[in-house]
A and B are shown apart, each in its own frame.
Chain A
Amino acid sequence: MAWTWFHRLGSSPWVYRFSGTLLRFLLPLAIAMIVLGCIWGIAFTPPDFRQGNSYRIIYIHVPVSVVSLAGYYVMAVAGAVSLIWRLKVADMAMRVAAPIGAVLTFLALLTGAVWGKPTWGTFWVWDARITSMVVLLFLYLGVFALYEAFDNKTLASKACAILSLVGTVNIPIIYKSVDWWYSLHQPASIKFTGESTIDPSMLYPLLWMIVAVYLLYACLLLLGLRVTLLESEAKTAWARKVVMEVK
């Protein structure tokens, strides 16, 4: 009984149909939340007592960074599932997660650099946090490139899954880098234990944007999954049925 959902994941037509239904309301919700969150962060939050208005970049920088870290676990877990259970959908999810994660990591580095100029006085410093984020970007790009490098795609998937599993060690390092080593980047403001060091009037829009970017990440993953599914199973009966529905 408990395993039926897992077996459904092995059924491509079910995943394709279910993701389509899910996206129909998830994608508009995610887009609306992001647009509202941006307006909230830009115009309707108070400025910071020390940084002034430059801190408004937090509403992009933090959500994008958080999801780029979480997305790595999505990719690694999908890789592990495809290694152990040989689940085709998991293998596709791993491959789809790599470029999305790379773009999010790049956005985190870019917004961080732009924020660094007016606050720290420099765009870039090779401190532990920033350097480990660059490593994350290369891990994402590495998984993506590794898959393309192999002609044998079964072998390619295995190699990518192992690379993403090896890379998971980097995630706690990124998260803890500001506590373990002396760095220019400040420690986290949102704390899981104890009180956050960010005022509620700034915390709520930030949490809102984090949820919004998580939702959008789910949408992007499903969208990529649908393309990959249809592409790789174009010759099957269910794919024909899907295609014939197109006007």
Chain B
Amino acid sequence: MMHFDSWSDLWVMAGHGPYVWFCYAVFLCVLAVMVVHPLWRLAALKRRLKRRLSALESNQTSEE
């Protein structure tokens, strides 16, 4: 059962809305960044390594 009677009640929270919503918003945003950042770094790292690796290989084949 939802505690609040209406969406506006949920938003205002009898005056405490700004404090509560601010905390949840910051929490979720910070967590999202913390999850996405290493995933993005890992993908970028793999791409960079792969480029270097294929450049190395094509170099070797052209020398042969």
A230 & B46 in contact (Cβ 8 Å cutoff): yes
Number of A-B contacts (CB under 8 A): 102
By a CB distance below 8 angstroms, the chain A residues around B10 are 42-43
B19 & A118 in contact (Cβ 8 Å cutoff): yes
Q: What is the interface of chain A mostly: helix, strand, loop, or mixed?
A: helix
Interface size on A, residues (CB 8 A): 43
* CB under 8 Å from chain B, chain A span 23-50: 27, 31, 34, 38, 42-47
> Which residue of B4, B38, B47 is within 8 Å of A246 (Cβ)?
B47
By a CB distance below 8 angstroms, the chain B residues around A117 are 19
Query: What's the minimum C-beta distance from B45 to chain A, rounded to whole angstroms?
Result: 6
Q: Which residue of A lies closest to B54 (CB)?
A: A244
Query: What's the minimum C-beta distance from B6 to chain A, rounded to whole angstroms?
Result: 12
Contact (A107, B20) CB under 8 Å given A226-B38, A230-B46, A234-B49: no
By a CB distance below 8 angstroms, the chain A residues around B38 are 220, 223-224, 226-227
A57 & B19 in contact (Cβ 8 Å cutoff): yes
Contact (A43, B45) CB under 8 Å given A38-B28, A107-B27, A223-B39: no
> Which residue of A60, A224, A226, A243 is within 8 Å of B27 (Cβ)?
A60
Tell me if B30 counts as interface (CB < 8 A to partner A): yes
A sample of 6 cross-chain residue pairs with beta-carbon separation below 8 angstroms, ordered by A number, consists of: A42-B10, A52-B14, A54-B16, A118-B16, A224-B38, A242-B46
Residues of A at the B interface (CB closer than 8 Å) are 27, 31, 34, 38, 42-47, 52-54, 56-57, 60-61, 64, 100, 103, 107, 110-111, 114-115, 117-118, 216, 219-220, 223-224, 226-227, 230-231, 234, 239-240, 242-244, 246
3 smallest CB-CB distances across A and B, nearest first, come from: A223-B38, A53-B13, A54-B16
